[in-house]
Structure formats: C-alpha cells, structure tokens
Structure 1
C-alpha cells in the first residue's frame, strides 16, 4: 500500500510538470508562426496525464482528458483551425484539467457542471470536424485495344505494417511487460517478431537504467495504424515507437519470441519521449541521460531544519567572535584567520542551502495567466499578459505566499486600471489592454512588478472617497505619493457596487499586509492616462540578512546592508539647518534629509551633541534617500532574522530582531518605514527643498 501511495505521489508530481508544459504550449500556439512541435508537446502532455490517471482509476479525469486530447489531435492534424474562440476553449479546458488533477490529489469533489459544459463544447468540435464518408462516383476510363496481350505480371505491393518498439526504463519501472504488448499485436493479425539485442552491454558494463532491448514486428493483415497505436496508448511515452507501412525491403525476421523483460528493475530517473527513430536506442538513452541532471526528492521540512541550524551556526560564530574579543585574542593572527575561515564557511553553507530552497517564479506566473483570463471574462475587457523574468528565483517559502497578493494586483489592474474597449479606442490606445508581470534581482532583493497601460490613478476620486469614508481629514495636505498610499488602507474601495472582483472592501490592504509579512514592501507609481505600476520588493531569504551593526545611545541595532549607499563623517560646511531643528546634508551636489535615529526610536543621545556621530546615506526600494545619523558603526556581519511580531508585537520602524554574539537582542531597522514616517508637513518641506536644490 505504501508503494502505491508513493507511485500516486509521483504521478501528481509529474502532473505538475505536464500541466506546466500544457499551459506554456497553449500560450505559444497563440503566437504567430508557432512551431507545430508545440502542438505535439501539448497533445503529449494531456495524453500522459490521461495515461497516468487511468492507472489509478481516476475516471472523470481520464474521460475529460481523452476528449480534450481528441480536439488537440484535430488541431495537430490541421483539421481544426486555431481561432481565438478555439484557443479560449483550450485554455478553459487546461484550467479544468488542472482543477481535476487538484481534486484528485486532495480528494475534493469536482465541479461536475464545469466539466459537463466543457465536454459538450469539445464534443461539438469533434462532431463538426469528423470527416463524412464521400459518396461513391463512377468514372469511366478508356481502354487501348491495340495494347499487346502478353505482359509481365506486377507483383502485388507489400501489405501490412512494420512496428519498431524500443522500451525505456520507465516502461519496466511502471510494471509493464513488452510480452503483453506483443501478444496484443498478434491479435491484430499475423505477426513476425524479431528481437534485437545487439545493443545490450556486457554484464560488467550492464546498467538497469539503460535497457537496450528492441523489437521489430512485421504485422500483416487488415490492421491499421490507429489499431496499432491503441495497443500502445498508455505506454507511448515510455518507449521509442515507430509504425509505418511495409515495403518490399522489409523482410520477415522469423526469430524466437522474446523473453519476458526483467521485473525487478530499480526506479527510473526520467521518462524518454519521442526518441528519434534514426538513432540507435542506446545512443538515444545516453544522450537523454547526459542532458538530465540526477536529482533527489527531499521533504521541505528537512531543508527548513537545515536552514535553522545554519542560523544557529551564524549566532554561535558571532558569540565565538565576542568571546575572542573579550579575551583579548583578536590580535592573534592564527585566531583571527581561524575565525574568518569559520565565518566564510558558514556563509558558503548558507548560500548553498538558499540555492536548494530557491525556486523560479515561473509556477506563480503561470497561475496568473488563469487569473487574468477569469478577470477578463468577468469584466468583458480584452486583455493580454506579458511575463518577463519567469526564471527569477525566490525562497521556497515565498512561492505560495505570493499567489494571493499577485492575484489581487492582477484583478485590480484589470478591474480598476484598464479602461473598457470604447474608452481605449477614444484615447487612441489598442482595444486590447496589456498587463506586464516582471521579476528581477536588484541590489540583493527580488523586485516584482505588475504594470498596466490603463488610465492611471484618478487621485481626485481617491482623495474624495477617503474623505467621505473618514480615512483622512477634509482638506488634508497630501502629496500625490501619499494619495496613492491611501489605496492600501483597510476598507478602501473605489467601487460602490459589489461584483465578482470588487466592491467588498478587501483588496490592496491584503496585498500590503502579506508582502510586509514576507519582509518586503509594495510601492505604486502611476501616470494619469498612461498606466500604473505596482512594485514588490522582497528579501532573497527569510532566514539570514547581511547587516551593519550600529550604536544608538546604549542600544545596538542592525541596518540592512542592501539599503546602505555610503557612510561619512560630515564637515560643518556640509550641514544646513532648516525648519525647527531639522538638517539637510549637502553631498555631491544633492541635498539629503537627515534623520536622527536616536530621536526616531526615543533613545537618549550621548552628551556630545546632535552634530556628532556618523551619517549613513540610505536609499530604499521606492527610491527615497535620506541620511541616518547614528552614534557609531562597529561591525558588518550576517545576522539571523527572528520575527518580532510573532514573539512580541509590531514596533514602528523595525522589521525584525536578531540575537547578537553576547546573547542580547538587537532590532533590525526598516529604512522604508522610517522614511515614510517623514510624510508630515516638516518632512514634505525638507523633501521639496532637497528636490529644488
């Protein structure tokens, strides 16, 4: 029973890969001049899902996949034109197939009404495109009576099929027996079977992962190619298979019947599909083995435990460094070299585990195509999506937690951002709106952007709604960026009516909360009439961060190194007073607001005065710049992130906490939130002066 559960789990893992091939292939088919091989790949993906589902008795999944692949077969045989309406149906069938796989995996009930509706639409295409029998017509022919009466008889052409079958490792592993396939072929007609074992290696070089037996069957009788293919319907992807009409050169090979294939072969590493028939079977297998890197499947909780242990290793390294410093051994070259080696080794291990946990965003982006189609159908707006940077990798723990925020952002862009077709046409835009979903690594963080080419944010309307709902005071002095931030307030909605997408007061506040829980930030940039861009900045990992240890009074805090631009001790000529005790830093022709972190966190400053200390110039993900005044900088190291909200509560201006080498807790500063706290009248005046030079 355990083995069956393991095979079932493996089937669903393979389904995830096949469904990804299906979704990607359908989008490629929509592009002009698509490769016909793409259609074949899509067909094979659905066929493979059907074959695996049949082995586990998933009747609904098998029935739907069979009808789906029948329509795909019409497409690949050029009997069904690829129209926008057909592609819309194929996309909906792909979504339904994904739902059926998910239902089978979780044991949930399927949406039978959806399945039945799509089955009816597919059946209509099959009935329409099935060729009718042509009527028999008599065509008279002329005879030449002057032709000679004697002639050499023409031998009748060879009648039958030649079947070439080379099983791969996957066929044996899945419990199939070539003998059963050969017996099934014998039922179709007279079969002459020839076993080719020339490619089998000597015993000392033999490997169960590279089976090399091949069978050639000369089948005579009334059997057709579809009859033969039906024999291999569920193992077509497990062997290199060719079926063609017999020719005179195909001599029968009356050899003994093949022996049964070994049944105790170890699990396979991969499935060979559509191996080239012109190459020897062994050469094909060697080529595929060279292309596929060996992999192992490890439970995620094991990797998480390893990551936690690495975090503890970083803490112990910091403690060891503290002990060496206290003992006065920090000037001993051997001790310092050994400590540096430990620190480097811990960093290398941490990066290696991060690489193991990292996964591309492609799976998340794939799901957003379905969200876009559903939103477009609900609003009646024609929309297309462009994805960039699908291979950008993020921590595994972020993958699933990004789905909900991105779903809200995509729906918001379709519902609120894009205009209807009539409005777009009046404004000189294409009737079809465009949403761009992109991802990239920038400055040690992951940047994800959702952009639309719609009408932009109507800030006057947003402001009026916020005032009417008591979210801001009437007549409050707000900058355009601050008005945009109102969209993230809980309960804010710019639509009065309740629809499938909007009007329930749940939306962008969920996005902001989820992204902040991931240690990230979300920003808005909008230009009226041109569109809006939502930007998400995420850390590469939720476990370790490179930080600068700073002193604020008697407190030690950590400033993420990714935000730091430079550090300096300013001269008096570089400091300019403004307003009520505020200052600006003149640095390389730019005026930068100075923020005293001691004042921000309520820490008592030493008696030296406010102009002493060090300035750290920072730039956040929203391109805000400021100079943080701190008392001292004394180290730069990796620190382990510990959630402050889960263990204590939310602290303004702080994103998390860490444990230092002496066992004390240090807060990790959130530069973005500190700069946002400048959005009062004094902060706006300083920013205006800085921008005006």
Structure 2
C-alpha cells in the first residue's frame, strides 16, 4: 500500500502545530503572571509565525489570515509599541483558543469555527494607527527619491568607518517566488534577525523595478544584504530563516570575506548600481550628505537596527548535540505494548513449566530464565516510558475550559496548575479529559461564589481553582481544589431525600453525604444553565474514573472550598504484583500498594465489635480485614488462626491490613479489562492471565477497604 507523501507532511505539520500551541499557552501563562521579557514575547510570536508559515505552504488561507493578524499584534508587543495590560492578555488567550480551533477544524476538514471575524476585529482594535498602517501595501517611491523602511527599531545611521569588520556576519537574503504567497514577510524576518544584534541592512533594488499592481503583489522584487555586528553562532542566524529556506536564496559568510560576495541575482541589479555601493567597512567612504541620502538610483537603502538589550550569549564549544526526536504513530506503540504483554505471559508460562518439571534452582535453565525475566522487565519499563506523557496538554485544555466557563457565568476565575510534567499513560490522559472537564465546570458554576459574595466574605473577588498531579503509592493522584464556599451538606442531604435517593431516616457521615453528589440524577442547581443543572454529570464522572481502575474522593470545608481527589493507575498495560491466595482463590495485589508483609499474631489483634478489628503494626493501629471474607468468598471466621497480613497504603496515607492464606510469588502481570458486562466490582480493578493459564483478579486495596463496599448506607431504592 502506497502512502501520499503530502498527506504525511500535512499530518506532521498539524503535529507540530500542537507543540507550537502548547508553547504558546506556556508563554501566555508567563505573561499573565507578569513575565514580559523579550524572550517570553518572542516565544508567542515565533509560535504564531511558525503556524502561519506552515499553513501558507499548504494554502490554508483561513489559518494564514488569522495567524497573520495575531502575529502583527505580537510584533507590536515585541517592538515595545504596544504594552499589553490584563485585558489584552486575556484577549491573547482567547485568540490562542481561536487559533487552536482553526487548526483543529482545518485538520479535520470542517467548517471554520464561528467568531473569527469578531476576534480579528478585537485584535485590530489593539493596534495603534501606525501599527495598522504596516498591514497596508508598501508604497514604492519614484526614482530619485529616498526609500525608507521602518523595521520597528530606532534608525541610527552608522557611517561605514564605524563598522568593525573583524567579527560578525554578512547575510544576503533574496526571496524567491512563493515566499510571500506562503504567508511570510521579509519585514518580520529582518526584525527577527535584528534581535540577534546590531544590524546594518541594505535593500538592493533593481533598476527595472516595475510599478506595483495586483499582478506582482506576491512577486519578490527586492533583495537584502545585512551586516550583523554580533559574534553569534551561524546556526542562530539560520534558525531565523528556518521557515523560508525553501522559498529564498540565502548566503551567510563571515565578515572577512564580504568583498568576495556577489549579489544573489546580479542580472536584476545594474552594474552601475552595484558599483555605487561603498565597500562596507571602508575607512575612506563618506556618508552621503543632505536629504537625498540613499537615493533609489544608487540601489541601496540603509537601515541600522538596534536590538532590545539582551545578555551576551556565551558559545559553549562543549555543548552536546540536541536529542533527535522521532514522531511515531501511537498505533505502532500500542501494538508494541500488546506484544510486550504477550511476552510477559509467555515468560510466566515458561517459568511455570520449568517449576513443574522440577528443575534445580542452580541449573543453567533457571539462570537463563532469570535473565529472560530481567530482560522482559527492562523492555516493559522502556515501552511504558514511551507511552507515558506529561499531563501538561490535558491541563492546558482545562485552562481553556475555565476561561470559557467563567465568562459564561460572569465570574472571575484563575486556574493554577501544579505538577503538569507528571507522566501518565497516554490512554489514561485521553480518557480523563471528559470527567475533568465536567468537574472543572462544576467547580466554576457551583464551587466558586460570585465576586460580590466573595468580597462580602472577605475573599478576593477572583476565585482560584488548583489543578495538581503527582505520583503517590505507585499511582497518579490528580486533585481539583477550589477556594469557594464548600459543600452545603444539609442542602445536599435534603435534596437527596426529596429525590428519594436516600431514606429520610438515614444516618450519614459527612464523607457519605459528599458521596451523594455522585449518585445518578443528583444536582444542587436551582435552575438549568449552560454548565449544569440537569442532574447528569458527577455520576458519569465517577463511572469514567472507575472504568480506568481509579477512584474519587471528596473533602470539603464550609466557607473554604472543596477538593476532589482522583487516584488512577500509572498504566493500563503491565504492572508488578504479589500473587496471593485467599479462600481458595488466586488473586493479585499491586506491589506498589504493599508496604510490608508480616505474620499475624493473636496478641496484636484488637476487636472493636463483632465485625470490626484493628491490628497493632509497629506501634500503630490499622484496620484489619480478612480478604476472602471481604470479597465474599467465605463467611466470617476466627482470624486468630490466619497466617499472613499485607499492610497496604492509600494515596492519602491511610493504611489497612489484609489477611491472606498464602503468598505465592511476585511477578509482572498483564492487565486485562473486565469489560462492560461485568460492570464495577468493588475492590477489583482488572484481571490477568497467570503462567498456568489461570485467570486471576487484580485487586484495588483502597477501593476494597475504603470505597463503595464500605458505604452500606446508600439506598437508591429508598422511598
């Protein structure tokens, strides 16, 4: 099967767009926090410019047009002619969201998103009159008159005698057909080049320059020779021209060989005009006097650029080459992960066969098997590293949700991200987007008060939502916390009774009342809004998280806010587990959840009631549960005769001890989902296939002890 090369290049372009949009959001966040340094602003400019350049190559006019206007505004910010305030930065965020929508609809070949013209009008409104004139076609002056170029920096005329030709570069830049048609502009390229250091730029104008009209609007007619008086690496110069390499002629030479340079297109520049150019660096050359300096008949217009102050960049001769990045289709990685899973199963079967055959532990076969197991583990960890991705992209999507949701309910909200470089399996990230979106919207709509209410409560008018991610106890913990009013538990209880979700006489703890929010059909909204109020949401959130092998808990303090904690497995493919037996069943407990194993002794057991027991473990009392009885495999029994306990820990630090009959072994297991037919089984995360072909359940100790199985008060059939 043959593939279309252009389709592959187009796919690569949109993948690059995702990366550029991510860097754009990062830089805007820094600007929002008060970082207005030139490098941060340049990141925004370069991201938009790069998207525009690539879009122009594919003829994506809508994307080019919007990116061009956005780029023009950011160029004004770069030059210092526009100083953005808080409202302008909010507009930049909205423009970035619109740019992302245009990229998405263009990639999917859909109609452009609505509101483009309105956003373009808002961007143009930011510009001063002088800046708006830059978008107009440049007027060519008649022969014999001076030709001036405004490159956005103070024009300081430097006589050739003042130019030091011991260092720096000479650059000849000649646009080819296609440079302007692809959405690029020589003016912006020269401005970017001037950021590297002091530049003297000469525009080389042919004598036969035709008058401008529609037929040659996108035809390159001029070329430029630039003297860069800065000792910078040549790679920095070439980076400025990265996106026009294929639509221009570029010559870069050290200053010492300037006299050997020939014009890029000598046939377009007359010999007399070229001869009229004084040698750059000549001490005998005199500056032309009078108002007619730099006449067009001399084919040279000179502009001196002074860049914004920046620290000198030392050249590190020992610097390592940047790491080479390769884009790989996710389907290929998934196929590799599946093969690793089969390899793990076959390795387990081989180990089982060797054990059944009674091989000596000191035999060569056992030594080879150990090496095979180590190699399998290393391959698994390497592949899991490839699949793991930072949650940063997900958090950036949530930042947009906050902006849109807060605007719709007229609240001032700021999103704070913590731990956005925490890595999680890509599948988990993709399936977590919808539940996180619903929770963020609920936090904006229900959790945070209106500005006037917050002021009355001595709070800042702007509410804050904190979205954080971290690794704890071998799992990833994602928390959504707001500084709002907290959960109104009496109201929640009354609504649950009215909706017949609980019995009127049900005795519930605060934690159990909080869990009512996740019951189907529950809503505290008094009216239906664009964000909530239909009673569909949090139950779907819990179902989605549960399907990922995760769990969600809630903590809330009235008047101070609410925090939702989501605990998820790091991967949905392979894990290290402890194979145990309980009530004749073979089970797997994730190794990351086990702190310690110990022998159960009667003197360490403390009975609180007929069914409640605690165990003293290293001077600490922890809840004690019989695993077989907890899963319903056997009835209550006298556990004094039981032999082994596993001390487990949750992400929040809570501990529990599980009694098992025997510990079989520690091994890697392949995670197999239970599917929709089984539904959610409290305490069971997934299943696996053991070496002897037996199917074993993979447990979630936290859900087994603290989850739905331990909350018997809910009665969805009450009333």
Per the shorter chain, which TM-score range?
A: 0.7 to 0.9
Shift of 1:586: 2.5
1:628 corresponds to 2:658: yes
- Contiguous gaps of at least 5 residues in structure 2: 135-156, 164-168, 184-188, 190-200, 210-220, 228-233, 267-306, 308-313, 714-719
Q: Distance in 1 between matches of 2:225 and 2:70?
A: 36
Q: For 2:359, what is the secondary structure of its paired residue?
A: coil
Shift of 1:79: 2.1
Match of 2:335 among 280, 286, 305: 305
Shift of 1:530: 1.4
1:679 corresponds to 2:711: yes
Q: Distance in 2 between matches of 1:130 and 1:259?
A: 32
Match of 1:295 among 320, 325, 350: 325
Q: Distance in 1 between matches of 2:55 and 2:172?
A: 24
1:550 corresponds to 2:557: no
Shift of 1:49: 1.2
Shift of 1:111: 2.2
Match of 2:474 among 444, 463, 466: 444
1:587 corresponds to 2:588: no
Tell me which moved more, 476-485 or 346-355: 476-485
Shift of 1:501: 0.9
Q: Is contact 2:172-2:264 (8 Å) kept?
A: no
Shift of 1:619: 2.2
Flag the 1:234–1:565 CA change in 2: closer, same or farther, 3 A: closer
Shift of 1:165: 4.4
Shift of 1:110: 1.2
Match of 1:83 among 64, 82, 85: 85
RMSD: 4.1
Q: Distance in 1 between matches of 2:376 and 2:222?
A: 65
Instruction: Tell me the residue number matched to 1:120.
Output: 121
Shift of 1:478: 1.0
Q: For 2:73, what is the secondary structure of its paired residue?
A: helix
Instruction: Tell me the residue number matched to 2:171.
Output: 164
Instruction: Tell me the residue number matched to 2:527.
Output: 497
Flag the 1:289–1:356 CA change in 2: closer, same or farther, 3 A: farther
1:61 corresponds to 2:55: no
Shift of 1:372: 0.9
Q: Distance in 1 between matches of 2:85 and 2:14?
A: 31
TM-superposition CA deviations, 1:523-572 (whole Å, max 9, x none): 21211221111112121110111111111122111111222222222222
1:368 corresponds to 2:398: yes
1:469-618 counterparts in 2 under 5 A?
A: 469-604=499-634, 611-618=641-648
Flag the 1:479–1:516 CA change in 2: closer, same or farther, 3 A: same
Q: For 2:381, what is the secondary structure of its paired residue?
A: helix
Match of 1:331 among 348, 352, 361: 361
Match of 1:51 among 43, 53, 71: 53
Tell me which moved more, 249-258 or 570-579: 249-258
Higher relative contact order (CA 8 A, sep 6+): 2
1:188-199 counterparts in 2 under 5 A?
A: none
Instruction: Tell me the residue number matched to 2:302.
Output: none
Q: Is contact 1:523-1:622 (8 Å) kept?
A: no
Instruction: Tell me the residue number matched to 2:15.
Output: 13
Q: Is contact 2:82-2:127 (8 Å) kept?
A: no
Flag the 1:668–1:330 CA change in 2: closer, same or farther, 3 A: farther
Q: Is contact 1:446-1:538 (8 Å) kept?
A: yes
Q: TM-score, normalised by structure 2?
A: 0.75
Q: For 1:666, what is the secondary structure of its paired residue?
A: strand
Instruction: Tell me the residue number matched to 1:419.
Output: 449
1:213-252 counterparts in 2 under 5 A?
A: 235=244
Q: Distance in 1 between matches of 2:236 and 2:431?
A: 46
Q: For 2:127, what is the secondary structure of its paired residue?
A: helix
Flag the 1:404–1:212 CA change in 2: closer, same or farther, 3 A: closer
1:377 corresponds to 2:407: yes
Q: Is contact 1:192-1:252 (8 Å) kept?
A: no
Q: For 1:235, what is the secondary structure of its paired residue?
A: helix
Flag the 1:78–1:439 CA change in 2: closer, same or farther, 3 A: same
Give the paired residue count.
598
Q: For 1:43, what is the secondary structure of its paired residue?
A: helix
- Contiguous gaps of at least 5 residues in structure 1: 134-154, 197-209, 215-228, 244-248, 261-275, 277-282, 682-693
Flag the 1:311–1:75 CA change in 2: closer, same or farther, 3 A: same
TM-superposition CA deviations, 1:651-675 (whole Å, max 9, x none): 3331111111111111111222221
1:142-221 counterparts in 2 under 5 A?
A: 164-165=171-172, 186-187=205-206
Q: For 2:704, what is the secondary structure of its paired residue?
A: helix
Flag the 1:97–1:569 CA change in 2: closer, same or farther, 3 A: same
Instruction: Tell me the residue number matched to 1:690.
Output: none
Q: Is contact 1:319-1:663 (8 Å) kept?
A: yes
Q: Distance in 2 between matches of 1:255 and 1:331?
A: 76
Match of 1:2 among 1, 4, 13: 4
Instruction: Tell me the residue number matched to 2:142.
Output: none
Flag the 1:424–1:212 CA change in 2: closer, same or farther, 3 A: closer
TM-superposition CA deviations, 1:37-82 (whole Å, max 9, x none): 2112211211121111111111111111111112212222222221
Flag the 1:658–1:67 CA change in 2: closer, same or farther, 3 A: same
Flag the 1:164–1:619 CA change in 2: closer, same or farther, 3 A: same
TM-superposition CA deviations, 1:581-610 (whole Å, max 9, x none): 443223334333322222223324799966
Q: Distance in 2 between matches of 1:289 and 1:116?
A: 46
Q: TM-score, normalised by structure 1?
A: 0.77
